[in-house]
Amino acid sequence: MKITNIESYPVWNGRRNFIFVVVDTDEGIDGVGEVGIVNPAVLGAIEHFKPLLIGQDPMRIEHIWQVLYRGGFFPAQRILGSAISAIDIALWDILGKALNVPIYQLLGGKVRDKVVCYPHNVGHAMEIEPLVESCLKTKEEGWKFVRWGLPQDGEILEPRQSVLAAIKQFQAVREAVGDEIEIAFDVHTRLDLPDAVWLCREVEHFRPFFIEDPLRSENPDSFKTLRPRVHVPLAAGEQFSSKWEFRQMIEEEWIDYARVDLCICGGISETRKIAGWCETHYIKLATHNPLGPVSSAACLQVNLAVPNVGVQEQPRKPSEMLPDIVPVHPQWEDGYLLAPTRPGLGIEFDRAAARKHPAQEGWRRANLRRLDGSFTNW
């Protein structure tokens, strides 16, 4: 079997863009992957990789990963990493289809029958009532988690105001959903150390499942200062593009949950290595998945085969995600994704439907500012 073509599909779903990548072979078996950083630069990276891929054996997945990551002398990071991730996922899809088994069988088989997920609730606003309504709605639907992010006032994010609002939201949500529902809260890297410490201490008694990305990711050493000053579970890693970036976080045990993004960090191949590393430090995966149905399917395959899994991010039920482009998807039931039995990723990708929804101009760029007009993290 040889690779014959690689094609990108930038898609618009009415709210945002996605990028899917299809790898074709001379035996008529194709595979699909998804890009984590939805940026036109990734499309250029896919084209750049084409000459290295055409004619290669798609079953040499690890070899291809090494060639793509190391072949340019400079280590591949986020943009190239996103392209490599999509290609890697597509190659695993091909391998599963060629052998007529789900990918999780190739990773050692199931260690669980289903994977618990958390949704995206109404968030990033200062109001309390819409958030509580959203959390009660997802609880009624069967989700076992609620999740929202650090509140902001339109395009203004003033740390003190946001932390005060978040504390009130925590109290209202916990009182509304009860003790049995887990709370995941995403700071989204928008606080500095003093405010992150303040927030974590104030919400500790509401028993969050984790506080995500309390600090920026460029300098992981900052977690060395944060970790001993707070007593809530911490999650980080969605911005990392390889196992090497996770290294210090894992070895120093500064996090409790590794937010591995399969579509940025190197695909299934790299994620299983990170997962094994985490297992030696009793760190669980909380796979980062704010993306589309291909990413969801890839996360599910890994999480079914990895023993140290905490939760999978799942913005909405798979049946609600681009149903015309991905008409066959994993089954969601009562807050869990169930193990698929179809080969590969267990999904179908309709290329003709994808072409009918081309990506829109104006790729997402969002800026936040403080009251004094200074720039702050999106």
Q: Is 288 a catalytic residue?
A: yes
- The residue annotated as part of the active site, out of 63, 120, 124, 188, is 188
Output the CA torsion 20→272→236→182 (10° steps).
90
Under 8 Å between Cβ of 259 and 288 = yes
Token pair for 127: 């109001």
From the centroid of its chain, how far is CA 150?
18
Q: Is 281 a catalytic residue?
A: no
Q: Is the dihedral of CA 136, 142, 144, 147 positive or negative?
A: negative
**Going along 69-119, which residue ranges are E strands?**
114-118
Cα separation, 327 vs 330, whole angstroms: 10
Under 8 Å between Cβ of 347 and 97 = no
Local structure of 311: helix, strand or coil: strand
Token pair for 300: 């599910």
Under 8 Å between Cβ of 118 and 182 = yes
CA proximity to 12, closest of 327, 352, 356: 356
Under 8 Å between Cβ of 132 and 173 = yes
First to last CA, the chain: 44
- The residue annotated as part of the active site, out of 124, 205, 288, 329, is 288
Under 8 Å between Cβ of 324 and 350 = yes
Q: What is the DSSP letter of 122?
A: S
Between strands 17-25 and 375-376, the pairing is unpaired
Q: Which residues of 54-70 are buried (b: 16+ CB within 10 A; e: fewer)?
A: eebebeebeebbebbbe
- Residues designated as active site: 188, 288
